[in-house]
Amino acid sequence: MRRVLYFLLAAIVVLVVAWFFAGLPGRITAQIGNITVEAAIPVVALGLLLAFVVLFFLFRLIGGLIRLPWHLDRWRSARQRRLGDVAVTRALLALAAGEKAGARREAHRARRMLSDTPLTLLLAAEAGRLAGRDDEAEAAFRRLSERDDAAFLGYRGLLRQAIARDDWAEAAVFARQAEAVQPGTDWLRQERVRLAIRAGNWAEATQLADGAVSRGALAAAASEAEPDKARALKLARQAWKDDPALAPAALAYAARLRADGRESRALAVIRHSWTLAPHPDLATFALAPFSDTLARVKAAQRLTEANPTHSESRLLLARTSLEAGLTGEARHQAEAARDAGVNQRRLWLLLADIEARDHGDTETGRAAQREALRRAATADPDPQWHCSVCHVSSPAWRAACPNCGSPGGLQWSADAPASSPVQAVLIHDPERGREVL
């Protein structure tokens, strides 16, 4: 309806203008040389209008011909852009579906249509990586790393490739380059911690570690690897302050103090850590200066006086008392640990030794030893280092799990990992003269 109204309005305007020109009186005469042209004013006006229309369309045609190459280029660019967008979508779908050949084909088509943009380069790299063409992936990631607007993506891809082929030195280089273009990235910080641990650069790992990682464990390892004594002491003190319940951290600090001639301070560190989390290695360190068995008993009593009822305290006192010939005290401490719920293999072996020392080679002693050995065969496992992440046991403490590489993952516990098989334990039976389960 609106178009009809516009048409009628335009027709009325044309009629009014035509009526106006048709009603103009007079004639126009033009003389060119010997030629004289005379016409009425309405005819001249109509001729001028027609000439204007012809010239207008003529100039439009000429302008269109001049701009034709530009329009063709624009049309081709738009068409290429549409085809490139389609290729990008198909490449993404192929990557999501795990179609190696399709992903590479569409990624290459996208690069051909859209040139080397960050998106097309990333698609080409991921398609090459999916297809096992590491050379293609590396070339695309390097092209990305050369761009100011996508350098981090390139370094991240190169870093992942270096880690996949266990090239830790090159991975560290890419990590530093990525940090330079995108500082403060949480993911990159964690990767740099992992790389530092892999390379054994414990000092750098300690500096990079955040609250989610046990800095005490890393600092303890850094202290052990540090050749400078002053620096090693500082790192050991940091490890102990960050995690005073971690026995290796306390031992690292106490060992440096002992080497520096500060024995009383070293023992104070060990006693404090024993109060928080008793560990057999702490007792070994505290009792090392004493060779006399009674002196070792007194040293054990001083160590455990702040935490006397803990199972480690009772077992330590029982062991040192037995070594000193105090079988009554040894039995008291061992049975107190048993009554408190301790059912570990080392407790029953200790009780077997107490029975052998207390009763000797008698029928009563042999019967008590057999019972203790029988209980040891089915007892709970002794505490050892377990990884809290992968649940694999380790015979010795490490700052990072030797299986999964988790920093600070090893915890001292009597709980066997869920994934580890049950192992048979052979124990010597003195009466039978052979090993029994």
Give me the chain's average pLDDT, please.
85
Please give the share of the chain, as a percent, with pLDDT higher than 70: 90
Reported as a single tens digit per residue, the pLDDT across 381-405 is: 999 999 888 888 888 898 888 888 7
Residue 21 pLDDT > 80, yes or no?
Answer: no
Torsion-angle region of 133 (φ positive above 0: left; ψ -120 to 50: alpha; else: beta): beta
Confidence of residue 211 (pLDDT cuts 50, 70, 90): low
**Per-residue model confidence (pLDDT) at position 350:** 92
* H-run or E-run covering 387: strand 384-387
Q: Which has more confidence, 418 or 364? A: 364
Q: Which has more confidence, 227 or 205? A: 227
Reported as a single tens digit per residue, the pLDDT across 220-258 is: 888 888 889 999 999 999 999 989 999 999 999 999 999
**Per-residue model confidence (pLDDT) at position 124:** 93
Q: Give the highest mean pLDDT range of 13-27, 87-101, 202-216.
A: 87-101
Return the structure tokens found at 144: 């990305």
Phi, psi dihedrals of residue 138, rounded to the nearest 5°: -65, -40
Beta bridge partners of 28: 39
Reported as a single tens digit per residue, the pLDDT across 153-172 is: 999 999 999 988 888 888 88
Q: How many CA atoms lie within 13 A of 321 on its CB side?
A: 20
Reported as a single tens digit per residue, the pLDDT across 88-127 is: 999 999 999 999 999 999 999 999 888 889 999 999 999 9
**Per-residue model confidence (pLDDT) at position 24:** 65
**Per-residue model confidence (pLDDT) at position 421:** 39
The per-residue b/e assignment along 186-219, b for 16 or more CB within 10 angstroms, e otherwise, is eebbbbbbbbbbbeebbbbbbebbeeebbbbbbb
